[in-house]
Amino acid sequence: MTPNTLTQLAAGAPVQNWLVLGPFVVKTDGHFEREYLYERQRILDIDYLAEDGGEAAVAPCVGQTHRNMGLGPKQLAWFEHADPRIHGTHYAREIIYETVQRNCVFYAAAAIDAESECHALLDLYHSGAKIWVNGELVSNEPHGLPKGIRLQWPTKVIRLKKGRNLLMVKFRPGFIADGIDFTVREVRVAPLAGEPGLPIALGRVAPMPLFTGTLDQPRQVIEAALVNSSHVAVKVGVSGCIRTRCGRRTRPR
């Protein structure tokens, strides 16, 4: 597996070296098929790799095969995908139309090499997915954005160990109308900076297209992510105008 380095990701590059496995397409009963769009999260609850130790424990490598419990080939193999966007319809092709609910699932795995242990922010777009980091489930968001549940995916705080880390995304189709929203894309991992012994970590500081003040003394709003890495409430004072997207929201001092 070609790794993605945390140094490259910290500079803003998306994850683009992947291994992909699928498609897994399972038949469902008539009642399930009639519940259009409302119960398809159930296909994410199936562990398609259970016979090989389970999806949370698998160690993917190119060409490694797994038995396919669903429609299509009896064996499916991991293959390389070198692009920030993974389109499920491209690889599933006609078999995705074998069920009314488009009961199709893919796994996408990426290796991330980190020089030291750290916390990081994980952002991505997906059409409905479960996400693991080093075997730990960090997100279960079965419905895509077009369903109207939310306007954007919340940032996930993840822990990376020193050395090789495994990011695993299991995704399914989301919105179905004139087309099918079936994708994982723009996966970004931004490490957090912190001092030893301090529970607050800082990450993703970026200028916003918003200004306050006067024409003579304009002030630009800066967005920063502040994360409480401890298990207790911490009060943080921030001077200036800072808006956080992850962790506890702070007020200017």
| pTM, entire model | 0.82
pLDDT of residue 30: 63
Q: In 3D, which of 106, 26, 104 has the Cα closest to residue 70?
A: 26
pLDDT tops 80 at residue 245: no
Highest-scoring range by mean pLDDT, 25-39, 54-68, 135-149: 54-68
pLDDT of residue 251: 40
Beta carbons within 8 Å of 87's beta carbon, 6+ residues apart? 182, 183
The DSSP secondary structure of 162-180, one letter per residue, reads SEEEEEEEEE----BSSSB
How far is Cα 125 from Cα 169, in angstroms, rounded to an integer?
A: 11
Q: What tens digit of pLDDT does each residue of 199-215 get?
A: 777 777 778 888 888 98
How far is Cα 253 from Cα 238, in angstroms, rounded to an integer?
A: 5
- What's the helix, strand, coil split of the chain in %, to 5? 15, 45, 45
pLDDT of residue 231: 72
Beta carbons within 8 Å of 75's beta carbon, 6+ residues apart? 65, 66, 67, 68
Q: What tens digit of pLDDT does each residue of 145-167 get?
A: 765 556 678 889 999 999 999 99
More confident residue, 238 or 104: 104
SS3 category, 73: coil
pLDDT of residue 131: 98
CB 224 within 8 A of CB 121: no
pLDDT of residue 197: 65
Share of the chain above pLDDT 90, in %: 54
pLDDT tops 90 at residue 174: no
How far is Cα 85 from Cα 15, in angstroms, rounded to an integer?
A: 9
Q: How many CB atoms lie within 10 A of CB 78?
A: 22
pLDDT of residue 248: 42
pLDDT of residue 238: 62
pLDDT tops 80 at residue 250: no
The single-letter code of the amino acid at 188 is R
Q: What tens digit of pLDDT does each residue of 32-47 get?
A: 555 555 566 788 999 9
pLDDT of residue 57: 96
Q: What is the mean pLDDT of residues 3-16?
A: 94
pLDDT tier for residue 71 given thresholds of 50, 70 and 90: very high
Cα 134–135–136 angle (5° rounding)?
95
pLDDT tops 60 at residue 247: no
pLDDT tops 70 at residue 122: yes
pLDDT tier for residue 242 given thresholds of 50, 70 and 90: very low
pLDDT of residue 252: 39
Average pLDDT along the chain: 84
The single-letter DSSP state of residue 193 is: B
CB 188 within 8 A of CB 225: no
